[in-house]
């Protein structure tokens, strides 16, 4: 990695949670992409939600009351 902080990822308990998060982000019209959890974060075989760092507050707001977000990381 170059160290440039170009993306954030939100990590969830399971793929079912990621699917729920996706619905919430879609409803809130926030751009996102579902990607495999980067190896630098975890050896887990799951997926996570990637978005732009400037959207962090909006993302948190859209998800906060509805779903447990395990962690938000900057890449």
Partner 1 sequence: MKPVYFDNAATSWPKPPEMMEAMVRFNESIGANPGRSGHRLSIEAARVVYEARECAARIIGSPDPLSISFAKNATEAINCVLLGLLKAGDHVVTSGMEHNSVMRPLRFLERQGVGLSIAPCSPAGVLDPDDAMRAVKGNTKVIVVTHASNVTGTLLPLDDLARIARERGIVFVVDASQTAGSIPLDVVRTGIDVLCFTGHKSLLGPQGTGGFYIRKGLEESVSPLMRGGTGSASEFEEQPDFLPDRFESGTPNAIGLAGLAAGIRFVLGLGVEAIREKEAHLTRLFLEGMAGMPGTRLYGPQNVRQRTAVVSFNIVGMSPSEVAFELDEQFAVLSRPGLHCAPAAHRTIGTFPEGTVRFSFGYSTTEDEVRRGIEAVAHISAAYHKRTL
Of the residues 28, 42, 52, 55, which one makes contact with partner 1 according to CB under 8 A: 42
What DSSP assignment string belongs to the chain? -------EEEEESSHHHHHHHHHHHHHTT---EEEEPPTTT---S-EEEEE-GGGHHHHHHHHTTTS-EEEEEE-
By the rule CB under 8 A, 41 interacts with partner 1? no
Smaller CB separation from partner 1, 35 or 60? 35
Smaller CB separation from partner 1, 48 or 57? 48
By the rule CB under 8 A, 73 interacts with partner 1? no
Residues making contact with partner 1 (CB under 8 A) = 13-20, 22-23, 34-37, 42-47, 67-68
């Amino acid at each position: 990695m170059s160290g440039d902080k170009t993306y954030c990822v939100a990590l969830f308990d399971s793929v079912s949670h990621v699917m729920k998060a996706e619905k919430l982000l879609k409803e809130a019209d926030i751009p996102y992409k579902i990607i495999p959890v980067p190896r630098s974060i975890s050896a887990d075989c799951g997926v996570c939600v990637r978005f732009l760092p400037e959207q962090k507050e909006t993302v948190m707001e859209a998800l906060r009351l509805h779903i447990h977000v395990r962690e938000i990381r900057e890449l």
